[in-house]
Structure 1
Amino acid sequence: MEWRGDKKLTVYDKTQGVVNVQNYLTKIFGLSKDDCRVINQYMGGGFGSGLRPQYSVFLAVLASLELKRSVRVTLTRQQMFSFGHRPHTLQYVKLGTNPMVPWPPFSTTPSTKPRSLRSTPKTW
């Protein structure tokens, strides 16, 4: 979080939605969009949890505006798992085998000729 003076901020956030974060911060703190820049330098695999503003960016802006200086919020690895919306899911997996097909159905040793999984189509 970079304080640029007179309620002007540059926010560095790991987010998939820089516009979402900017809109959130401008509404909450009464900033103009010109005075609130949001930059995402490194995203990585967000898998959807980076779509919404997180509490860490709110706290960083709050501290910066109160202290009138740049601040940095650092989270531990454990704390990083405490935010983001991940609804409860229950997944079921069924596996089956056919005793007529040898296991594994592929070669684990290299060969010069490619080996087909099944040389002729089978109906099970």
Structure 2
Amino acid sequence: MSGAQIIAAAIERLQKEDRAVNYDRHGRIMHSDVLNALCCFCEQNAEFAQAICQSDKTLEDCMKAVAKGVTTGISDLEAYKRAVQFYFAGATVTFKMLIDVGDGVLNDVSAKPQQIEVGMDSLMDLMDW
């Protein structure tokens, strides 16, 4: 199987399992967002997709693992981390958050974040001795 075929098979499996599950209270709230994240992660990384294809674990059990110990709430990041680690131990998830204030900066691929380099001499000048 090619990488694209593995990715497609993993996504198809997750979506098929999702349609067949009657989720509990937490699962009903979280399953669509977690499913979407898992599908995106499969598209990002064929090795992760392969882990899902080769696993005997189910999305229903994944959602139970994500919800384990949750009482009043869980952050999206934590839910996605738990879901990823359910299928691929040791894997993790990172978020990158950006702000768009309507000035089009996020849409401009040439826009670079400003970096300020400060050498040790500059730091010493700033310190009040």
User: Could you state the TM-score of these two structures normalised by the residue count of structure 1?
Assistant: 0.25
Return the index of the structure with the highest Cα Rg.
1
- Structure of higher RCO (CA pairs closer than 8 Å, 6+ residues apart): 1
Q: Compare the two structures and name the one with the higher strand fraction.
A: 1
User: Could you state the TM-score of these two structures normalised by the residue count of structure 2?
Assistant: 0.24
Q: Compare the two structures and name the one with the higher helix fraction.
A: 2
